[in-house]
C-alpha cells in the first residue's frame, strides 16, 4: 500500500462530521442528499462510515441492512482525492461489513452515465442485473431524469 493511502483512516460517521460530509456530497453528486437524509441515516440504524485524512473527510458511504442483504444508499469521494484508491477502500469496507454480518448479497444503483463507478463495481465482482428507468434527476433542470443501473454482488 502506498504512503498516500496509509494517511487515510476509515471510521464510523458521527453527527459532528456532517458539515464536511455535506461539502463532499455537494461536489460529488448531481443530485446531492440534504442534511436531513444523513441525520436520519445516523439515527435510524444505517451504517455510515467516512474516510478521513489530515485534511478532513474525503469520502464516505451509507449502507443499510435489509434481512440478509446489504444496500448501498450513498457513496462518494471528494473530487480532490479521486484517483487515490479511496473508492476501493470504501468498497472493501462495505464488503467486509457484509461478510462480518454473514449477509448473502450487496445491491447498489449507479447512474447509467457514471462509467468510472461502474468500472469500480465490476472490479469488485458486481454484475448489472436490471435498469430503473428515469430513477435519477439528471441535472438541476426540472423534469430531466436518468436511468439507474442496478448492480448485485453475491457473497
Residue 12 · residue 39 · CB < 8 Å: no
Q: How many residues in total does the chain contain?
A: 155
4-62 confidence digits (pLDDT tens): 445 889 999 999 999 999 999 999 998 899 999 999 999 999 999 999 998 899 999 99
pLDDT tens-place string over residues 141-152: 666 889 999 999
| Extended strands (E) in the chain | 9-12, 47-53, 56-66, 69-77, 105-111, 127-137, 145-154
Range of the domain at 32: 3-154
In degrees and rounded to multiples of 5, residue 76 shows phi and psi of -160, 150
Domain count, the chain: 1
CA 142, 22, 123, 69 torsion-angle sign: negative
Q: Is 83 exposed, middle or buried (0-12, 13-18, 19+ CB in 10 A)?
A: exposed
DSSP 71-99: EEEEEEE-GGGTTSSHHHHHHHHHHHHHH
The domain that contains 11 carries what CATH number? Answer: 3.40.630.30
Q: List, for residues 64-112, the tens digit of each pLDDT value.
A: 999 999 999 999 999 999 889 999 999 999 999 999 999 999 999 999 9
Q: What pLDDT sits at residue 4?
A: 47
Amino acid at each position: 500500500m502506498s504512503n498516500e493511502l496509509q494517511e487515510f483512516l476509515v471510521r464510523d460517521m458521527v453527527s459532528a462530521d456532517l458539515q464536511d460530509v455535506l461539502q463532499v456530497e455537494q461536489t460529488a453528486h448531481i443530485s446531492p442528499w440534504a442534511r436531513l437524509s444523513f441525520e436520519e441515516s445516523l439515527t435510524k440504524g444505517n451504517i455510515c462510515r467516512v474516510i478521513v485524512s489530515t485534511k478532513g473527510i474525503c469520502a464516505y458511504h451509507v449502507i443499510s441492512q435489509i434481512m440478509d442483504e446489504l444496500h448501498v444508499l450513498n457513496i462518494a469521494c471528494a473530487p480532490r482525492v479521486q484517483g487515490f484508491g479511496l473508492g476501493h477502500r470504501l468498497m472493501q469496507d462495505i464488503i467486509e461489513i457484509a461478510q462480518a454480518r454473514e449477509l448473502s448479497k450487496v445491491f447498489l444503483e449507479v447512474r447509467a452515465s457514471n462509467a468510472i463507478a461502474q468500472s469500480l463495481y465490476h472490479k469488485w465482482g458486481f454484475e448489472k442485473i436490471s435498469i430503473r428507468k428515469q430513477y435519477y434527476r439528471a441535472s438541476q433542470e426540472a423534469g430531466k431524469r436518468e436511468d439507474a443501473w442496478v448492480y448485485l454482488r453475491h457473497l
